[in-house]
């Protein structure tokens, strides 16, 4: 509703501005002043609507204070229209040989000048809010990624404890490589890691079952750093998922050692 009304107001503002400009060109200060008054009223109303919509977007956390492209263009157009009228009234006031006509022209000019300043201030405020919201959105994204990486780390450690209980070293190595592949490449696991409502223990048990292990792994009691080799984990598994998705630190060494034995 607001968008439609604002567009109607803009069309009326264009008409009023054109009438005021024509009256100025004809030297008719009275008609120009009446048309300018209607233009300035519409100019004020449109600025207020744009500011209101920006506040509503911030409250809804939807693209924050970033003005829609048509709103940004609308503000710029209104500033240009007001500037044209301000120049006309200024020229009329400077050349008027009657003090009353000069005063009337100055009043109209000052009103337009005020409207232009406020519109420019609104543009600057919206840009500042947009930058603040961009930074906040980036921080939220980083926090979510960090939390997901911590969960990936904890799951890796929990499953590694179950792998460490396997007596055969080659089987341990194969299972560890498989674990890394799943944690860094399986999209379904990635979705589950992002779901903070899903307990770590459930993820560990699910991965253990998929690897053919008894679901006995549990999250390390001391947090992500407590499940290294000295606590029953598999070497390299304590860093699983600690970097961005898709990066691996340990599997390459496991594969390399497997390939070396195969060549030997």
Query: What is the reported pLDDT for 13?
Result: 94
Q: What is the mean pLDDT of the chain?
A: 78
Spatial contact of 85 and 24, defined as CB atoms under 8 Å apart: yes
- Ranges 17-26, 66-75, 78-87: which has the least confidence: 66-75
Across the range 186-205, mean pLDDT stands at 80
Provide the residue ranges of all domains of the chain, joining segments of one domain with +: 1-60+69-139, 143-211
Q: What is the pLDDT of residue 86?
A: 95
Q: What is the pLDDT of residue 105?
A: 92
Rounded Cα gap, residues 79 and 118, in angstroms: 10
Which has more confidence, 85 or 192? 85
pLDDT tens digits for range 213-226:
886 544 444 433 43
Strands (E), 127-237: none
Q: State the pLDDT confidence band at 68, using cuts at 50, 70 and 90.
A: low
| Residue 89: predicted pLDDT | 93
What pLDDT is stored for residue 220 in this prediction?
42
Going by pLDDT thresholds of 50, 70 and 90, the confidence category of residue 109 is very high
Q: Give residue 115's pLDDT.
A: 93
Q: Which residues are CB-neighbours of 68 under 8 A, at least 6 positions away?
A: none
Interval 194-219 mean pLDDT: 78
On the 0-12 / 13-18 / 19+ scale of CB atoms within 10 A, 90 is: middle
Query: Range with the lowest mean pLDDT among 22-36, 149-163, 230-244?
Result: 230-244
Structure confidence at residue 69 (pLDDT) = 64
Q: ∠ at Cα 139 (138, 143), nearest 5°?
A: 120
30 confidence band (pLDDT: 50, 70, 90): very high
| CB contact at 8 A, 131 and 63 | no
Mean local confidence (pLDDT), 154-159: 89
Range among 17-26, 175-184, 191-200 with highest mean pLDDT value:
17-26
Distance CA 154, CA 121 (A): 50
CATH of 1-60+69-139, picked from 3.10.450, 1.10.287, 1.20.81, 1.20.120, is 1.20.120
- Whether pLDDT at 143 is above 80: yes
């Amino acid at each position: 509703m607001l968008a439609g009304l604002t567009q109607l107001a803009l069309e009326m503002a264009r008409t009023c501005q054109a009438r005021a400009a024509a009256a100025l060109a004809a030297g008719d200060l009275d008609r120009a002043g009446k048309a300018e008054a209607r233009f300035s009223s519409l100019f004020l109303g449109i600025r207020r609507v744009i500011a209101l919509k920006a506040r509503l977007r911030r409250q809804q956390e939807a693209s924050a204070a970033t003005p829609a492209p048509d709103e940004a263009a609308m503000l710029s157009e209104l500033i240009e229209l007001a500037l044209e009228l301000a120049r006309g009234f200024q020229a009329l006031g400077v050349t008027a040989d009657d003090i009353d006509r000069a005063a009337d022209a100055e009043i109209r000019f000052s009103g337009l000048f005020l409207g232009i300043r406020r519109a420019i201030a609104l543009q600057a405020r919206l840009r500042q809010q947009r930058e603040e919201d961009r930074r906040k959105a980036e921080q939220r994204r980083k926090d979510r990624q960090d939390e997901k990486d911590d969960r990936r780390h904890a799951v890796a450690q929990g499953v590694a404890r179950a792998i460490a209980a396997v007596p055969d070293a080659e089987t341990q190595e194969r299972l560890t490589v498989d674990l890394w592949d799943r944690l860094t490449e399986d999209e379904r696991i990635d979705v589950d890691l992002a779901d903070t409502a899903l307990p770590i223990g459930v993820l560990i048990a699910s991965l253990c079952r998929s690897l053919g292990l008894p679901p006995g792994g549990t999250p390390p009691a001391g947090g992500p750093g407590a499940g290294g080799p000295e606590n029953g984990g598999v070497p390299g598994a304590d860093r699983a998922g600690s970097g961005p998705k898709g990066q691996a630190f340990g599997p390459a060494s496991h594969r390399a050692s497997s390939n070396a034995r195969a060549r030997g």
